[in-house]
Amino acid sequence: MAPSQSFEATIVGGGLGGLTAALALRQRGVRVTVLEQAAQLGEVGAGIQTAPNASRLLLGMGLRKELEAIHTEPLDQVRRRWKDGSVVGLTSLGQHCKDTYNAPYWHYHRADLHRVLMDACTDPGGPGPVVTLHTSSRVTELDRTDPARPVAVTEGGERYAGDVLIGADGIRSKVRDLMGAEDTLEFSGEMCFRALISGDAIAADPATRWLVDRFQSTIWYGPDRHLVHYMIRGGEYLNIVAIVPCTDEVAEKWTVPSSSAELAAAYPGWDDRVPAMLSKAKDDDVSLFALYYRRRDPVWQDGRVALLGDACHAMLPYQAQGASQAMEDAAVLAEELGAVTADGVEQGLRRYVDRRAKHAGMVQDASLRNKDFYHYPDGPEQRERDRKLARGFSGESD
Ligand code: FAD
């Protein structure tokens, strides 16, 4: 592998995808500048899971000590029926993942995972050149007058040139627009409540104490909606992801304020344990937004500009794989760019897209198919699904 010390990359977007790419490139000797539109780098207050595919990559980047300090490990994943909470399927995670995949299945607070990546990017003692992070830097233009040195231009007029420019700027990617890529955004017809519930509040109430008995990742399946919950920060919070059909107001506004009462009322007729749990959220900790995704699209590159993460393969969160796929992108991007000098960047990007687009597209498609699989009305399809869940099948990714 050729060293890349002379080579500069600009990454637009300092989310989990952009920072993982920055760290992976840094470790290959690439000089990286990250441009982030927000005034402060950080993540939303919510949980995130990394299945073994992503955990393995993060551990391979030398983050074991840091991740061990912030992770929570679920013992298994439980699948419950909406009406009575009966268990229709159980998949071992915990030790089983380590034994089978040689990598763990872990949960985190997003802000903790983001901070670990940011610290590793900026640690002067780490391998490779320290990553330069600029906040309050919204990219609004690309200047490609010199195709060998694409320039990101911010709304304040600052110009950042590099040998390669990566758009890791999320589902509504500006870099994608500026590249002239097709508009592949789709509305799912569904909306998502996110909430964090205090672990102490859950432990104090006999109606919800069952949740702390075991650290499980749980999915409840019901007609046209589902519910996911799992502990993060060792039980400090229960993370809630609640997916229901979208109202016209949310579809129009993308995101609106919500409340625990609205969240609990979104599951009428469900097992009593569901409203008992959801009503414990504090109103300030409940957010509500419409769920969009991108259609599969193999065009991730134009010359020395390429896309990564949600910018190219935003998917429904029905396999918990969006950030994990962005991390896979980051690892492959760094392998390919780490193996070339500045002259070979375009070929390196082409190999990155060749290695990633098909796989990420398959995960996008499977996540979309889970929209039906998770939401069957009670009847023959639901019974057949529940039989599959009982056999260990976990969804359309299997
Ligand atoms: P983003 O996280 O969107 O980051 C993009 C960054 O770019 C942002 O910081 C933004 O401010 C910045 N930006 C945007 N435009 C500009 C601009 N013009 N100039 C400069 N900066 C810009 N995935 C998992 O792997 N596991 C899970 O458990 C999981 N759970 C999920 C649960 C829910 C409810 C949802 C909705 C998603 C979930 N995902 C999960 C998916 C995951 O959150 C996303 O796929 C992932 O965060 C995408 O990362 P990204 O870096 O590509 O984009």
Mention every residue, 6+ apart, whose C-beta is less than 8 A from residue 382: 221, 223, 376
Share of the chain above pLDDT 70, in %: 97
Q: How do residues 231-259 score in pLDDT, each as one tens digit?
A: 999 999 999 999 999 999 898 888 888 99
- pLDDT at 23 exceeding the cut of 90: yes
The minimum-distance atom of ligand 1 relative to the CA of 173 is 15
pTM score: 0.96
Alpha-carbon distances of 366 from 40, 244, 372, rounded to whole Å: 34, 19, 11
Average pLDDT on 279-302 reads 93
- pLDDT at 395 exceeding the cut of 90: no
Q: How do residues 80-134 score in pLDDT, each as one tens digit?
A: 999 999 999 999 999 999 999 999 999 999 999 999 999 999 999 999 999 999 9
103 in ligand 1 pocket by Cβ < 6 Å? no
- pLDDT at 184 exceeding the cut of 50: yes
Residue 241 token pair: 């992801």
- Residue 5 is predicted with a pLDDT of 54
Average pLDDT on 189-213 reads 92
Average pLDDT on 208-224 reads 90
The minimum-distance atom of ligand 1 relative to the CA of 54 is 25
Burial class (CB in 10 A: 0-12, 13-18, 19+), 230: buried
Ligand 1, atom 26, lies closest to the CA of 320
- Residue 396 is predicted with a pLDDT of 65
Is 374 catalytic? The answer is no
Contact 147/154 with Cβ under 8 angstroms? no
43 in ligand 1 pocket by Cβ < 6 Å? no
| Catalytic option among 105, 230, 237, 352 | 230
- Residue 252 is predicted with a pLDDT of 86
208 in ligand 1 pocket by Cβ < 6 Å? no
Judge if ipTM > 0.95: yes
Quote the mean pLDDT of the chain: 94
Q: How do residues 24-34 score in pLDDT, each as one tens digit?
A: 999 999 999 99
Query: Could you tell me the distance, in angstroms and rounded to a whole number, from the CA of residue 384 to the centre of ligand 1?
Result: 34
Q: How do residues 142-166 score in pLDDT, each as one tens digit?
A: 999 999 999 999 999 999 999 999 9
- Residue 2 is predicted with a pLDDT of 47
169 in ligand 1 pocket by Cβ < 6 Å? yes
- Residue 3 is predicted with a pLDDT of 47
Query: Could you tell me the distance, in angstroms and rounded to a whole number, from the CA of residue 171 to the centre of ligand 1?
Result: 7
- Residue 6 is predicted with a pLDDT of 76
Query: Could you tell me the distance, in angstroms and rounded to a whole number, from the CA of residue 194 to the centre of ligand 1?
Result: 14
Query: Could you tell me the distance, in angstroms and rounded to a whole number, from the CA of residue 272 to the centre of ligand 1?
Result: 33
Count of CB atoms situated within 10 Å of the CB of 193: 23
The minimum-distance atom of ligand 1 relative to the CA of 47 is 28
Ligand 1, atom 14, lies closest to the CA of 169
- b/e sequence 7-24, b meaning 16+ C-beta within 10 Å: bbbbbbbbbbbbbbbbbb
Ligand 1, atom 32, lies closest to the CA of 317
Average pLDDT on 292-296 reads 94
Q: How do residues 117-126 score in pLDDT, each as one tens digit?
A: 999 999 999 9
- Residue 42 is predicted with a pLDDT of 84
Residue 398 token pair: 């299997």
Ligand 1, atom 53, lies closest to the CA of 170
Length, in residues, of the chain: 398
- pLDDT at 398 exceeding the cut of 90: no
Choice from 48, 53, 263 to test ligand 1 binding pocket (greatest atom count within 8 A of CB): 48
Residue 258 token pair: 């919500």
